Amino acid sequence: MKNSTTLTSLSRRDLLKRGSAVALGAAVGSQAITGFPTIWAQNIKNVTLRQFGTGVSNINEIAKKAKEDLGITLEMTALNTDATAQRVVTQPKSFDIADIEYFTLKKVWPSGNMQPMDISKLKYFDKIVGIFKDGRLTPSSKIAQGTAPHTVSFTDGPNSKSFSKSMTNWYTMVPTIYNADTLGIRPDLIGRPINSWTELLNPEFKGKASILNIASIGIMDAAMVCEAMGEVQYGDKGNMTKEEIDKTMAIFTEAKKAGQFRAFWQTFDESVNLMASGEVVIQSMWSPAITKVRSMGLPCIYQPLKEGYRSWGGGLGLSRNLSGLELDAAYEYINWYLSGWVGGLLMRQGYYSAAPETSKLHMSADEWGFWFEGKAAQNDIMDPFGNKLEPKGAKRDGGSFEERMGRVECWNSVMDENRHMVRKWNEFIAA
Amino acid sequence: MDTVDRQSPLSTLLQISPISLILGFFLVLPIGTILIVSFWDYNDFSFFPDFVWTNYSDALGSNVTYKTYLNTLWYAGLTWFFTFIIGFTVAYFLAFHIHTTRWQIVLFLICTIPFWTSNIIRMISWIPFLGRNGVFNTMLQSIGLIDEPLEFLLFSDFSIVLAFVHLYALFMVVPIFNSMMRIDRSFIEAAIDGGANGWQTLTNVVIPLCKPGIAIGSIFVVTLVMGDYITVRLMGGGQRASVGVMMWNEISLLLYPAAAAHAVVLLAVVLIMVSLMMRVVDLKKEL
């Protein structure tokens, strides 16, 4: 870590400080000779891009491969969801590329600290799935509630701080990763089928349930539960009224006071530990956390529920401060990101790639069948790091891509009544 | 050499400038910033200069704030009580029952061994010990004392206070031990000669003479607990509230001015508590 930092800061300083003929040539070259890929590729070799994002996609393998393929040095910083929003808003000069979620984007885009991307420069735009264009997975599918990615994906021009309702040539963020979330359960400790979100508040699991303490995501899980119980009817779970928020939090506060929850978790590791230790048998959970518990040899299911999934998606956005050679390098990096290798890496951990077609080339037929098509594994399924995830014959919880992403009920979101929601959430935590 | 009262103004200025600069940069400046930001306004994604009282009225007008303060004071009170009992006993043993300086030093160092690791590690190591299927519950079940695991052991007020006591007991031991070592042993002999029993000697001689140590230890423990958030969050399973946790929630949701207002209120509360403690013991006089 330390090594790479000093190395990269040196090379960057080389470029900036010395102002030598080489550096000057490179800088001038990047302006004048776009369209000559060989010379260009040489130039971007010296570029360092600082990227931050959540732990799910900020993994060193990506930086290593980018260095190999493009010559670009990536400095990755992994933060939690809330911290990514803070970083964009409060430290705009500290990053070049923001790897953030769409609902975070909705919150931070108006700050003007990010710049949109010119879609004509994106090589794989036509391979990106419909969810990130018009909101439809297939032409006939319905649009889910919440901050659906397509509602915050387009903007009117390079300097616009607002979102465009229809598709334009300016993409706020290039989608990279998404998934459909549901509840995780320990089938061995529960011993009966679970098929509804209502089970989270079932008194049978008193003191053995958990929900995540990230307000904007936790409220969604809470809403899925309250709606399934028939206690609250929502106009839009992703944009609740004050009254809907109050009702939802009242139901959860009552459950909390009755001792329903063992703990609330905020990080991936906490959710894994709660589940693996048997402190909790049913909780909000993320897909790789389930995988992690299973890899410890414990049964754990990402339980599909009849009311559908809560979904999230993330992508790469550019800092307002990027320009010239570094901006070109960022485009090159993003095009490379969608070209398939990274997609394969993400898909083999249980996420989905924004351009699945390209990822297919980097997965075996068996892996593609298991992760994307929901087919039974022909051989043992391994994760990208060489650990065995599933034995031969296993099937993915929830089935194929269409079965899972086609049943998304709501996206993670930021509401108009955000301030009220946050206050109510804090009261719930303190109750 | 000039005597002190004839020093030139310049050398006085030079002498006080290092500490003033350090305090100015690292104490006054940050607190001043927090105070200023606490009057700013904010929306979902940014905060901006303004002069509004809403942050304070939100903080002071909410029941949750008072409940949270009560809860935090409850933790501080319990932690103070247990660290005092443990700290006083340990210090008393070291000061009066160990007669050679060498052994005093050896035993004192043994007390500090747990403090060689990070306090987060010390805290987290309680979790597998106290859990539902943890070491302690398994042990109790295997010797047949209980049938069902004890749930209150982890993610509860019990585990929070336990961790606090574990983390901060040494802060009580050190100053109390220090005061006890300064007690002239002939006072105790005089008390015994005067016919006082052990208890009377303790309450009439030892404790009054240990007051400065107790006060310093108490200030350490109480201020640490009042400002803590990570212990409450980890040991309370994210379900318990403290003032620190409340501020942390606000910061993570970008509500910096609201968090700053809470910080100012907390600072005021802690300063009042410390000044009350100083009133009980005049530290300047006693030291």
Partners of residue A423 in chain B, C-beta under 8 Å: 58, 62
Mark B218-251 as b/e (b = at least 16 C-beta within 10 Å).
bbbbbbbbbbbbebbbbbbbbbbbbbbbbbbbbb
Please write the tens of the pLDDT for every residue from A240-250.
Answer: 999 999 999 99
B9 pLDDT higher than 60: yes
Q: What is the pLDDT of residue A68?
A: 92
Distance in angstroms (rounded) separating the CA atoms of residues B192 and B263: 50
A424: nearest CA partner in chain B: B64
Number of C-beta neighbours around residue B273 at 10 A: 17
Please write the tens of the pLDDT for every residue from B134-176.
Answer: 999 999 999 988 888 898 999 999 999 999 999 999 999 999 9
Average pLDDT, chain A: 87
As beta bridge partners, residue B48 has: B41
Average pLDDT over residues A380-389: 86
Q: What is the pLDDT of residue B18?
A: 93
User: Does A273 sit within 8 Å of B127, measured CB to CB?
Assistant: yes
As beta bridge partners, residue A390 has: A381
A424 pLDDT higher than 60: yes
CA B131 to centroid of chain Cα atoms: 26
Sheet holding A183-185, edge to edge: A261-265, A209-212, A282-284, A183-185, A301-303
- Residues of chain A whose beta carbon is less than 8 angstroms from a beta carbon of chain B are 80, 82-83, 85-86, 89, 107-108, 110-111, 207, 213, 215, 256, 261-266, 270, 273, 277-279, 414, 418-419, 422-423, 425-427, 429-430
Length of chain B: 287
Partners of residue A111 in chain B, C-beta under 8 Å: 45-46
CA–CA distances in Å: residue B123 to residues A267, B126, B136, B139: 17, 6, 16, 21
Distance in angstroms (rounded) separating the CA atoms of residues A168 and B53: 42
User: Does B128 sit within 8 Å of A213, measured CB to CB?
Assistant: no
Q: H-helix or E-strand containing A28? A: helix A21-32
CA–CA distances in Å: residue A130 to residues A149, A153, A176, B16: 10, 12, 13, 68
Number of C-beta neighbours around residue B190 at 10 A: 13
- Residue of B30, B28, B72 whose CA lies nearest to B224: B72
Distance in angstroms (rounded) separating the CA atoms of residues A420 and A422: 5
State the DSSP code for A166: S
Average pLDDT, chain B: 90
Q: What is the pLDDT of residue A388?
A: 85
Residue A172, token pair as written in the block: 């706020």
Distance in angstroms (rounded) separating the CA atoms of residues A321 and A12: 16
CA of B135 to nearest chain A CA: how many angstroms apart? Answer: 12
Q: pLDDT category, B58, cuts 50, 70, 90?
A: confident
CA–CA distances in Å: residue B207 to residues A120, B195, B213: 80, 18, 10
CB-based contacts of A236, cutoff 8 Å, min separation 6: A145, A146
**How many CB pairs below 8 A link A and B?**
80
ipTM of this complex > 0.90?
A: no
A287 pLDDT higher than 80: yes
A371 pLDDT higher than 80: yes
Average pLDDT over residues A30-36: 42
Least confident range of A225-229, A260-264, A383-387: A383-387
Amino acid identity, position B68: T
CA of A108 to nearest chain B CA: how many angstroms apart? Answer: 6
Q: Please report, rounded to a whole number, the percentage of residues in chain B having pLDDT higher than 70.
A: 96
The beta strands (E) that lie in A13-94 are given as: 48-54, 73-79
User: Does B250 sit within 8 Å of A429, measured CB to CB?
Assistant: no
Q: pLDDT category, A350, cuts 50, 70, 90?
A: confident
Choose the most confident range, by mean pLDDT, from A137-146, A149-158, A414-423. Answer: A149-158
- Residue of A98, A183, A179 whose CA lies nearest to A346: A179
Q: B140 with B151: CB under 8 angstroms?
A: no
Q: When comparing pLDDT for B269 and A10, which is higher?
A: B269
Of A89, A213, A263, the CB nearest to B155: A263
Distance in angstroms (rounded) separating the CA atoms of residues A133 and B261: 42
Average pLDDT over residues A140-144: 84
Please write the tens of the pLDDT for every residue from A87-136.
Answer: 898 889 999 999 999 999 998 999 899 999 999 999 999 999 999 998 88
Q: pLDDT category, A383, cuts 50, 70, 90?
A: confident
Number of C-beta neighbours around residue A229 at 10 A: 15
Q: What is the pLDDT of residue A14?
A: 42
Q: Is the dihedral of CA A104, A106, A108, A112 positive or negative?
A: positive
Q: What is the pLDDT of residue B45?
A: 64
Q: pLDDT category, B5, cuts 50, 70, 90?
A: low
CA of B57 to nearest chain A CA: how many angstroms apart? Answer: 14
Please write the tens of the pLDDT for every residue from B178-229.
Answer: 999 999 989 999 999 999 998 999 999 999 999 999 999 999 999 999 999 9
Q: What is the pLDDT of residue A266?
A: 84
A91: nearest CA partner in chain B: B46
- Residue of B245, B286, B285 whose CA lies nearest to B72: B245
List phi, psi (to 5°) of A212. -85, 140
Q: Please report, rounded to a whole number, the percentage of residues in chain A having pLDDT higher than 90.
A: 66
Q: What is the pLDDT of residue B223?
A: 95
CA of A367 to nearest chain B CA: how many angstroms apart? Answer: 36
Please write the tens of the pLDDT for every residue from B62-121.
Answer: 888 999 999 999 999 999 999 999 999 999 999 999 989 899 999 989 988 878 888 888
Q: What is the pLDDT of residue A86?
A: 85
As beta bridge partners, residue A175 has: A315
The beta strands (E) that lie in A55-112 are given as: 73-79, 97-101
Q: A285 with A302: CB under 8 angstroms?
A: yes
Q: B254 with B42: CB under 8 angstroms?
A: yes
A28 pLDDT higher than 50: no
Distance in angstroms (rounded) separating the CA atoms of residues A414 and B42: 16
Q: pLDDT category, B286, cuts 50, 70, 90?
A: low
User: Does A430 sit within 8 Å of B253, measured CB to CB?
Assistant: no
Of A213, A215, A418, the CB nearest to B238: A213
Mark B119-156 as b/e (b = at least 16 C-beta within 10 Å).
beeebeebbeebbbebebbeeeeeeeeeeebbbebbbb
Least confident range of A5-9, A280-284, A413-417: A5-9
Q: State the number of CA atoms in the 13 A half-sphere of B261 facing the CB.
A: 21
Q: What is the pLDDT of residue A42?
A: 61
A331 pLDDT higher than 50: yes
A420: nearest CA partner in chain B: B44
User: Does B255 sit within 8 Å of A82, measured CB to CB?
Assistant: no
Q: pLDDT category, A41, cuts 50, 70, 90?
A: low
User: Does A430 sit within 8 Å of B252, measured CB to CB?
Assistant: no
A39 pLDDT higher than 60: no
B255: nearest CA partner in chain A: A419
Distance in angstroms (rounded) separating the CA atoms of residues B60 and A248: 25
Sheet holding A170-171, edge to edge: A117-118, A170-171, A154-155
End-to-end, the C-alpha distance of chain A in Å comes to: 42
Q: A297 with A246: CB under 8 angstroms?
A: no
Q: pLDDT category, A10, cuts 50, 70, 90?
A: very low
CA of A253 to nearest chain B CA: how many angstroms apart? Answer: 11
Average pLDDT over residues A34-39: 44
A405 pLDDT higher than 60: yes
